[in-house]
Chains A and B, each alone.
Chain A
Amino acid sequence: MLELRKDIFADERDDNLKEIGKGTQRQDMLGHVTGTSTYFDDHKLQGMLHLKVLRSPHAHARLRRIDTMEAERSPGVRRIIRGADVPRNLNTLLSLINFGKDDEPSLAVDKVRYKGEPIVAIVADSPREAFEAMAKVRVDYEPLPAVFDVEEAIKPGAPVVNEVYPKNTFIYHDVYDHQKLRFGDVERGFAEADHVLEQRYQMSPIEHAPTETNGSIAAPDTNGRYVVYTSTQALFFSLDTCAKILDVPSNTFHFIGGTVGGGFGGKVDTLTEPLAILGAMLTGRPVRYQLGREEEMQFGSPRGAERIYIKDGVMRDGRIVARKIRAYFDSGAYTRLSSYAVVKCVAHLPGPYTIPNVHGDVYCVFTNRTPATAMRGFGVTAMDFALECQMDKLAHLVGIDPMEFRILNAYRDGDMKAHRREAKNTALIECVQVAAEKAKWPLREEMKRMSSRKDGGGSRAAIPATPLEAVAQRAAVSQQRTTYDRAQPATIQQPPPLTPTPPPPRPPAPSPSHGATRFSSVFGTRRR
């Protein structure tokens, strides 16, 4: 049941509106309840082929040889796609906004870095024929030592997961293996505190578990264009990612999304569109690529796990005077979006509380597991779990009611936040008060009189003296820029012909290559 508390903050609102604030029925309700809303997979096209990928059974292995000779002769097979067929077989999602290095191939070339990594794609007349051909692909693996624990991964001598980041951490500002937050002097805070409490928290990965698994259908359109029906959560993000990977102008594609059967962050990664389109380009036929349920659960990116250490200094009267946090985000084998979650997490510290000394170090770590990605509350959910369990422990430690402990430490209008911006428009205290009222949780009168709009600012608005470590030399100017445009490739490749072409004969033992000539080696080369 939902109750609107119009009495609170009423003086800050104009409630005299006509359409806003009404529980108007959804525009698309009729379609949803009568089962007529269209999903991407409702676009069954004539002559449509089906794409399936062969996935690595190893968490970490060198690919010695990939033999598709027998698979190519398998009934119903139209085309087998390998890494060398992908025009630009190395990408990172946030390269569209110049954040991070290209680190993930569409199809693995010389190495697999997680169990389930795609190696070759098979386009066939039916899903069954694609699976039958897949069983005939011979891959010679050389298993390599794998690392699964974030703190093991950053130890010297740990197996290198992803050669683009040889220390198994994302690199911030070209120099640091983590993002820092420094506000005040935590060590002095701990020295002054009546109690110091240090704890470890461990989140688990979870699945987005959408009813509709990730997928797309790509089809040749008239005039050299391709229409793409997709389950994406981010239409232009996916479109521009495909334009980059397939090295064609973005207006080659007409992307059509629509009703999405559950996203929660798991449909940003553009897992299926590039190969579906490439399949359509290479065969001249519509191509459908949708993950099965087991693929979605095991190899569709999950919410990554985080390990968090919190050390707090608290006074007997309940004031938290210092909070130090070290956290590790498990990104899996590739960056996807975890690099940004770290930044978002750092900005979230120390939670919605005013604490005079805050210190944060947050790492994005690579391990040999399925790449993690965004999920509802990305970068924040795990930290909130740790922070709020810690708040409960601190309240218990100093013998203060946990509700009152929150009100006592809550940030208020005019306070300085640890990321050095003034707190405005705050409402934590009021939420605690109303939740207490609803739950019939007794609060003392003085706690009921507290307000987010009172007693903030003043000395709480100051940026405290902050001792800083030696500043590392930055190799280049900022990696985080606003430019959405990428540099144009030196040579524009012609889009592949639209007419179906038989698969060209393959060299008996293809040398490992990412296809695009501008990548002289698999790793290390980064286009700016």
Chain B
Amino acid sequence: MAKHRGRGIASINYPIGMNLGGDPSQALVHSNPSGKFTVSMSSIDLGQGMKSVTRQICAETLGVPVEDVYVDTADSDTGPHCMGSFASRGTHRVGNAVMAAAREARGVMMEAAAEELEVNAADLETDGRGNIHVKGAPHRSISTKDVAIAAQFKQGKTISGRGIFLVPLSEVNPETGEMSPATCYAHACLVAEVEVDDETGEVAMVRMDSAYELGRALNPRLVEQQLVGGAWMGISHALFETPEPYYPNPAHGPRDFVEYLMPGPGDICPHDIAVLERPAADGPFGAKGPGEMCANPVLPAVANAIFNAVGVRMDELPITPEKVLRAIKAQGGARPQARR
């Protein structure tokens, strides 16, 4: 009786957004007379950081500091339509809508600044710190606050913008499945190392190394949070969770977190992540979306690592100690494969 270590890999891609109804989202951006901007949306921040990512997209596009932008969400009276927060669509779809709205608002802001500075708007640029100045002549400058005051009380302009992002629906061919299901794809490869106890059937995570290609990490800390949390969910799905342990038999359903097992702090492992950025042509600043895909490579990588450790193929989830032990027994003991 012994503990055996093994490594397994999986590589995947993931489609961003969905091919239903054009998958639209809208956003509105406007400035108050102090040059502070509000983004109005009905989109939902589920904790993934939609408000923060769209805030950065809006600030970058307007050319103002992020502190000058506030994102207001989740109100059907003030926020325009959004399909919802699912299908890894938040950063890409909602981000694009915010970008379009911010671009339109920036256009008005630059026109208003041009009128105040008595120059052509095309000759102006923003410094990202709250000022607009003539290109190559930073002393000929006006603050976004003064522009907003002038627009509201002198020029009669609304510094505001509307944005929508829509991908026309792609018909699905009934005979061949031909379709345009998504506009861009994120990628990943993950290596999992496990330790399998051939006496108890228990699988312990040892470590994970991964590479994710996400177009652009708009906020690397939010990306890290998604990838670390998503990998935990993957471990949980691979080794612990199910409301129907003997599926398709529906019996033995859990009723609470005492009966529904998930990994605790002692069950997780170090996870070393690399992020690659190959910008998507239609993503906001090239961004795709890390939301859903991050759990996906963990499941097969763990199953493949178990094979490498003890030589059994686990083709049914979750991979419980009971299943591992039965499989080891059926093949007459652990058969460790070549160490990698």
B205 contacts the other chain (CB 8 A)? no
Q: Is the CB of B84 within 8 A of A233?
A: yes
Point out the residue from B177, B218, B286 that lies within 8 Å of A419, measured CB to CB. Answer: B177
CB of A67 closer than 8 Å to a CB of B: no
Q: Which of B18-26, B139-147, B327-335 contacts A (4 or more CB under 8 A)?
A: B18-26
A6-B292 CB under 8 A given contacts A172-B174, A205-B243 = no
Are B296 and A380 interface neighbours, CB within 8 A? yes
Within the complex, what minimum Cβ distance (angstroms) separates A139 from chain B? 20
Which among B110-118, B148-156, B157-165, B207-215 touches the partner chain?
B207-215
Q: A205-B242, A367-B248, A439-B191 are in contact. Are A9 and B277 (CB under 8 A)?
A: yes
| Contact in complex: B181, A344 (CB < 8 Å) | yes
Stretch at the interface among A103-111, A292-300, A501-509: A292-300
Which residues 194-219 in B have Cβ within 8 Å of A in the complex? Answer: 209-213, 216-219
Is B73's CB within 8 Å of the partner chain A? yes
A457 contacts the other chain (CB 8 A): no
Query: How distant is B156 from chain A, measured CB to nearest CB, in Å?
Result: 30
Q: Give the distance to chain A from B23, nearest Cβ to Cβ, in Å.
A: 9
A411 neighbours in B (Cβ, 8 Å): 13
| A180 proximity list for chain B (CB < 8 A) | 174-177
Question: Per a CB cutoff under 8 Å, which of A5, A19, A258 touches B275?
Answer: A5
CB pair B300–A385 under 8 Å, yes or no, is: yes
Interface centre among A20, A176, A261, A418 (most CB of B within 10 A): A20
Set B191, B250, B292: member contacting A59, Cβ < 8 A: B250
A387-B12 Cα distance, complex, nearest whole Å = 9
Interface segment among A76-84, A160-168, A186-194, A479-487: the answer is A479-487
Q: Is the CB of B247 within 8 A of A13?
A: no
Instruction: Tell me the minimal C-beta distance from B324 to chain A in angstroms.
Output: 15
Contact A263 B169 (CB under 8 A): no
Asked whether A258 lies within 8 Å of B74 as measured between CB atoms, the reply is yes
8 A Cβ contacts from A165-187 to B: 172-173, 175-176, 179-183
Instruction: Give chain B residues whose Cβ lies under 8 Å from the Cβ of A20.
Output: 56-57, 60, 216, 218, 285
Q: In the bound complex, what is the Cα–Cα distance between A181 and B173 (angstroms)?
A: 9
Q: In the complex, are the beta carbons of B189 and A428 less than 8 A apart? A: yes
Given the interface pairs A24-B66, A180-B176, the reply to whether A255 lies near B11 with Cβ below 8 Å is no
Nearest opposing residue in chain B for A237, CB measure: B84
Interface size on B, residues (CB 8 A): 133
Tier of interface size on chain A: 35 or more
Does A284 make an interface contact (CB < 8 A)?
Answer: no
**B83 contacts A by Cβ under 8 Å:** yes
Q: Which of A236, A264, A425 contacts B81 (CB 8 A)?
A: A236
Quick check: B219 and A431 within 8 Å, CB to CB? no
A526 to chain B, nearest CB (A): 18
Q: Is the interface of B mostly helix, strand, loop or mixed?
A: loop
CB contacts (< 8 Å) of B70 on chain A: these are 27
Whole-angstrom distance from the CB of B285 to the nearest CB of chain A? 5
Contact of A2 among B224, B292, B300, B340 (CB under 8 A): B224
Q: Are A176 and B253 in contact (CB under 8 A)?
A: no
Residue A474 at the B interface, CB < 8 A?
yes
Residues from 196 to 240 in A contacting B, C-beta threshold 8 Å: 199-207, 209, 232-237, 239
Chain A residues, Cβ within 8 Å of B219? 21-24
Distance from A344 Cβ to chain B, minimum over Cβ atoms (Å): 7
Task: Give bound CA distance, A344 to B187, whole Å.
Answer: 17
A8 to chain B, nearest CB (A): 5
How would you classify the secondary structure of chain A's contact residues: helix, strand, loop or mixed?
loop
B262-273 CB mask vs A (1 if < 8 Å, else 0) is 100000000111
Residue in A closest to B20 when the chains form the complex, CB atoms = A97
Complex Cα distance A427/B14, Å?
A: 11
| A57, CB-defined interface residue at 8 Å | no
- Interface digits, A401-417 against B, CB 8 Å rule (1 contact, 0 not)? 01100100011000000
Among A297, A380, A435, which residue has the most Cβ atoms of chain B within 10 A?
Answer: A435
User: Is A318 positioned at the interface, with any CB of B under 8 Å from its CB?
Assistant: no
Per the 8 Å Cβ criterion, residues 203-249 of B in contact with A are 209-213, 216-224, 227, 230, 233, 236-237, 241-245, 247-249
**Chain A residues positioned under 8 Å from B86 (CB to CB):** 233-234, 263, 265, 268, 374, 378
Q: Nearest residue in B to A254 (C-beta to C-beta)?
A: B77
Contact of B47 among A254, A256, A259 (CB under 8 A): A259
B233, A293: Cβ atoms under 8 Å?
no
Question: What separation, in Å, do the CA atoms of A381 and B175 have in the docked complex?
Answer: 25
- Which of these, A99, A259, A262, contacts B45 with CB under 8 Å? A259
A residues 38-69 near B (Cβ < 8 Å) are 59
Interface pair A3/B237, CB less than 8 Å apart: no
Q: A2-B275, A406-B9 are in contact. Are A179 and B172 (CB under 8 A)?
A: yes
Assess the A392–B304 pair: CB atoms within 8 A.
yes
Q: Check B315 against A202 for contact (C-beta < 8 Å).
A: yes
**Shortest CB distance B325–A (Å):** 18
A434 CB–B CB distance under 8 Å: yes
- Check: B171 CB closer than 8 A to any chain A CB: yes
- Contacts beyond the supplied A8-B278, A389-B304, A438-B272: 14 A-B pairs with Cβ under 8 Å: A18-B59, A26-B222, A232-B84, A234-B82, A235-B43, A256-B74, A262-B46, A344-B18, A348-B15, A369-B250, A392-B9, A430-B211, A431-B213, A438-B191
21 A-B pairs (CB sep. < 8 Å): A1-B272, A2-B273, A5-B274, A5-B275, A5-B277, A20-B218, A21-B218, A24-B66, A201-B316, A203-B317, A206-B237, A233-B44, A235-B75, A377-B296, A388-B300, A411-B13, A425-B185, A431-B11, A438-B211, A439-B191, A469-B175
The 9 closest A-B pairs by CB, nearest first: A234-B84, A388-B300, A257-B74, A347-B181, A97-B21, A181-B177, A23-B221, A434-B211, A173-B174
